[in-house]
Amino acid sequence: MPLSRIQPDRYRALLDEKVSRVCKLLHPFLPPQPQIVESAALGFRQRAEFRMWHDGDALDYVMYRPGEPKHPIAIEDFPIASDAIRTLMPTLKAQLRESVPLREKLFQVEFLGSLTGEILVSLIYHRALDDNWEQAARHLAHHLNKGSDTLSIIGRSRGQKLIIGRDFVQERLPIHDREYRYRQYEQAFSQPNGQVNIRMVEWACERARALQGDLLELYCGNGNFTLPLSRHFQQVIATEVSKTSIRAARANVEENHIRNVQMLRMSAEEVSEALRGVRTFRRLAALPQRLDRYNLNTLFLDPPRAGLDEKTTDMAKNFSSILYVSCNPDTLAKNLYTLHKTHTIEHFALFDQFPYTDHMECGVLLQQRQH
């Protein structure tokens, strides 16, 4: 995101432009008026990453304009990052600059924060990491923590991952009358805008209250939606293809003492094949009962930007209710072209996860047409 686009005084106008574009895009599918969830204008991002620029003894965070890889722009402040990340950035840079083992061939710095204030800093290098690096990193973590344990450091190089502390942050999300605890791992997907994420999960739960039976969730990630949604269904089968995400999801189910959720490491295509009886999978043996004995009336989808493939879209048409959260309105529109033939949009929401960009998160509840 170009820093020139961060204009807090124009936030509402920029949001209105995005809302207008998405509403026009989805108009052919006759959605109701959208519920619009705004973001804070500043301090909303729990993730940030910067290349590091070395010039003699100087060291700077930098970003690049698209198509201009040889012209770095020094970043002195990043106002859309959370307060915890913004406060840490100059202190960390000063400490890195003064430490030869930590500065040498440092290529990139990544920050992963949480609403709890925990931060994970990943330092990425173009060299092997040795004992001198680990000793310096431990000293840095001790200095930055100041007696707490809220900050961890990971050093990465080709074939190496050294962890000082732990490789995740602990997140807490208050959803209606309950708080959920999540592990969010380095290099696994998590929602970058924590406060808007809470509103998205609450919206999905409010829509789920009127639904019945069992839930199938594809692309469950770390269980961001899975855990709160489980209160509204008898049984939940949640699937995810990423090893790191499914490890986090299983840990989060246990951490929150949830007993009606089964996590499976399967792709959307594999789930589609299993439901159609095209293939059998040994992983399904982990379920407490056969797949065809579940009353899977509702499908929850939160796919990547590419949206649903053709086979998954065809599978979705068989569900009475579809809760679809999309980070890409264009691929949502493409999928709705098919789904609208069998379903109507009963609820519609827009979540401004990504202020000052063209991206908009959408939520729709689709109900099967009555013939």
Helices (H), 11-64: 11-26
Number of Cβ within 10 Å of residue 342's Cβ equals 16
Q: Is the pLDDT of residue 1 over 70?
A: no
Residue 287, pLDDT above cutoff 60: yes
Give the pLDDT confidence of 35-55 residue by residue, as tens digits.
999 999 999 999 999 999 999
pTM of the entire structure?
Answer: 0.94
Question: Going by DSSP bridges, is the β-strand pair 106-113/119-125 parallel, antiparallel, or unpaired?
Answer: antiparallel
Question: Which pLDDT score, from 0 to 100, does residue 69 have?
Answer: 81
Given the residues 118, 171, 186, 361, select the one marked as catalytic. Answer: 361
Q: What pLDDT is stored for residue 100 in this prediction?
A: 96
Specify whether the CB–CB gap between 97 and 56 falls below 8 A.
no
Annotation marks residue 362 as catalytic? no
Amino acid 2: pLDDT: 54
Token digits of residue 200: 């998205």
The band of 221, judged by pLDDT with boundaries at 50, 70 and 90, is very high
Q: What is the pLDDT of residue 71?
A: 86
Which of 205, 220, 327, 362 does the annotation list as catalytic? 327
Give the percent of the chain with pLDDT over 70. 99
**pLDDT confidence band for 212 (50 / 70 / 90):** confident
Q: Is the pLDDT of residue 257 over 60?
A: yes
pLDDT confidence of 4, banded at 50, 70, 90? low
Q: Which CATH entry fits the domain spanning 47-169: 3.90.1150.10, 2.40.50.140, 2.40.50.100, 2.40.50.1070?
A: 2.40.50.1070
| Of 280, 301, 298, 317, nearest in space to 235 by CA | 298
The whole-angstrom separation of Cα 274 and Cα 271 is: 5
Q: Does the active-site annotation cover 98?
A: no
For residue 188, what pLDDT is reported?
Answer: 86
User: What's residue 3's pLDDT?
Assistant: 56
Tell the CATH topology of 3-41+193-368: Rossmann fold (3.40.50)
Boundaries of CATH 2.40.50.1070 in the chain?
47-169
The model's pLDDT over 166-210, given as tens digits with 9 standing for 90+, comes to 999 999 999 999 999 999 999 888 899 999 999 999 999 999 999
Distance between CA 240 and CA 219 in Å, rounded? 5
pLDDT reported for residue 5 = 76
Q: Where in the chain is the domain with CATH 3.40.50.150?
A: 3-41+193-368
Task: Determine the pLDDT at residue 150.
Answer: 94
**What pLDDT band is residue 122 in, cutting at 50, 70 and 90?**
very high
